[in-house]
Amino acid sequence: MFYTGDKEWKSPETLKETLKNIPSEMEPYINDWRLPVVELKIMDARKLTNQRLKEVVEISQSMFAGNYDDLRNNRKIETENFMMAATFTRTKIKREDLPEGDEINMCEAMDKLFQRFEDQGMEKGETIGFEKGKREEKQNTLKEQLKVKLGTLSRPLEKQLTNTSLEKLNELTLNIFNVTSEEDVFRIIN
């Protein structure tokens, strides 16, 4: 079993260790088997003779350590080995994110992944920026409407409107005709 946790494995490694309070007369009838636990993060990949397993372990260890630049070396590996390492490390990599074929060049694969991550970050940033702009526009409109309705706005109210969620601003918009004082506004947005 490959263990990928953050702490050292301290759980049982045999069947009998997992069974508690076995009556002594039953012990001879229980087949005890050992569960080989391999700590993937710290094992020495150089000792592995199977090339496929060695690649999976090396890639996994680099991913766990966050050393993605180490993965950008110019070597070819089987795509399935890379996907297996991604599974072990719970890295969200889709097959379609990688270059086509049974083998991939690690440098090309990492460049493609970095580009996808960058694109996703830009999309998320655009969405956040759009939401922020929408909220600021709503705040400014409400401040102008309240100034017309109430005359002036106190500093505490202006500050509170600036820090109010879009949901509460929408609620205030729906109730704008019921507002006759700053207290009404505070009651709605708090």
Q: Are residues 29 and 73 in the same domain?
A: yes
pLDDT score of 154? 92
pLDDT tens-digit series, residues 2-46:
888 888 888 888 888 888 788 888 888 888 888 888 888 888 989
Q: Are residues 56 and 130 in the same domain?
A: no
Q: Are residues 85 and 111 in the same domain?
A: yes
Name all contacts of 134-143 with Cβ < 8 Å and 24+ positions apart: 134/166, 135/166, 135/169, 138/166, 138/169, 138/170, 138/173, 139/164, 139/169, 142/169, 142/172, 142/173, 142/176
Q: Are residues 27 and 64 in the same domain?
A: yes
Q: Are residues 19 and 81 in the same domain?
A: yes
The residue among 75, 95, 117 that closes a domain is: 117
Range of the domain at 83: 2-117
pLDDT score of 74? 61
pLDDT tens-digit series, residues 119-175:
777 888 888 888 888 888 888 888 998 999 898 899 999 899 888 888 888 899 898
- The H or E element containing residue 104 is strand 103-105
pLDDT tens-digit series, residues 94-110:
787 777 888 877 777 77
pLDDT tens-digit series, residues 112-123:
777 777 777 788
Count of structural domains, the chain: 2
Q: Are residues 112 and 152 in the same domain?
A: no
Three-state secondary-structure class, residue 99: coil
Q: Are residues 157 and 65 in the same domain?
A: no
Task: Report if pTM > 0.75.
Answer: no
Q: Are residues 71 and 159 in the same domain?
A: no
Q: Are residues 10 and 93 in the same domain?
A: yes
The residue among 69, 86, 117 that closes a domain is: 117
- Contact (Cβ atoms closer than 8 angstroms) between residue 68 and residue 85: no
Q: Are residues 63 and 135 in the same domain?
A: no
- The H or E element containing residue 2 is strand 2-3
Residue 167: φ, ψ to 5°: -60, -45
Q: Which residue has tokens 């229980």?
A: 30
